[in-house]
Amino acid sequence: MCCPKVSVIITVYNEKELISRAIQSILNQTLGNIEILVVDDGSDDGTADVLKSIASVNSNVRFILADRIGRAHALKLACEEAKGEYIANLDADDVAYPERLKLQTNFLDNNLDHAWVGCGEERRDSQRDEHINRVYPLTDFEIRKQCAKCIPYTHSGITFRKSLIDEGINYDPTQPYLIDFEFFLRVAKKYKVANLPEILACRYVRNESFFQSRFKTQKQNRRLARFGLQSVFWFRLSPHYIVYPIARLIYPLLPNLIKKKVRAGQGLSEGKGTT
């Protein structure tokens, strides 16, 4: 394929049961001219065989079999190898809804001062026993404020310009986790960002996933607090926003019902999932 409109990148480690579902959701997109690039990060469960089978009958699917290089390095590699004008991420255990790429590329085509666009998500969370729809802040101004509080997008719903990679803004392979948020903050420091109000991705939060099993909530929240504090200074937010990164450190101790109220108070719109 020459010059696809979008390169959809998927990094995968030991998800042979779910990778086909993720890829099929991209094959079902209403937008044409899509490249699907999968980086297999050293899977040993047969994922590579599944990818070979899919690629053999779909010319717009290609894959890279990497040694165990880690997710951050795999994301960086995928972006470097992507051929599209835009790059869209999809996690290997998640799903993109059919209109996602059409709506996001339309937005970026018509908003040349924006480098990144996300969307709302359907969230199926077995850890919290929740099935909800979540809409993130929409405008650049609101998203920047949200960064002091929590991650203001869903990683499985983001699309950004390949030109970011060409100028040297890419995922940092030295990051152990919250890899995408660190990357996002560097993008938002230089360019405008946005979210669409539509629910265009389904995110599955599972204890079985490699990320969730390896990185415990306490570690994630300490790092989120650090990035939140960084956001206050980078985006020149009001000094009172410093309270949010500090509060992040006690957030894991709250009951789930209180957590939901806290998220609502932080500007995350959540409703009961219907699909």
Is 89 part of a structural domain of the chain?
yes
Residue 222: pLDDT band with limits 50, 70, 90 = confident
pLDDT, tens digit (0-9, with 9 covering 90-100), for 104-150: 999 999 999 999 999 999 998 876 678 899 999 999 999 999 999 99
Name the residue range of residue 105's domain.
6-272
From residue 19, how far is each of 33, 71, 149, 164 by CA, in Å? 21, 15, 32, 27
**Which range, of 121-125, 140-144, 153-157, 168-172, averages the lowest pLDDT?**
121-125
Check if the beta carbon of residue 179 is closer than 8 Å to that of residue 79: no
Is 75 part of a structural domain of the chain?
yes
Mean pLDDT of 14-22: 96
Mean pLDDT estimate for the chain: 90
pLDDT, tens digit (0-9, with 9 covering 90-100), for 23-63: 999 999 999 999 999 999 999 999 999 999 999 999 999 99
Q: How many domains, in total, are found in the chain?
A: 1
Largest Cα span, the chain: 55
Mean pLDDT of 86-94: 97
For 58, the token pair is 């779909």
Secondary structure of 243-256 in HEC code, one letter for each residue: HHHHHHCCHHHCCH
Instruction: In whole angstroms, give the CA distance from residue 150 to residue 71.
Output: 21
Residue with token string 């719903």? 157
Check if the beta carbon of residue 19 is closer than 8 Å to that of residue 50: yes
Residue 213: pLDDT band with limits 50, 70, 90 = very low
Is 1 part of a structural domain of the chain?
no
The model's pTM is: 0.88
Backbone angles phi, psi at 103, to 5 degrees: -70, -40
Mean pLDDT of 165-190: 96
Q: What CATH code is carried by the domain that includes residue 158? A: 3.90.550.10
Instruction: In whole angstroms, give the CA distance from residue 23 to residue 88.
Output: 13
Residue 247: pLDDT band with limits 50, 70, 90 = confident
Is 146 part of a structural domain of the chain?
yes
Task: Indicate whether 13 pLDDT > 50.
Answer: yes
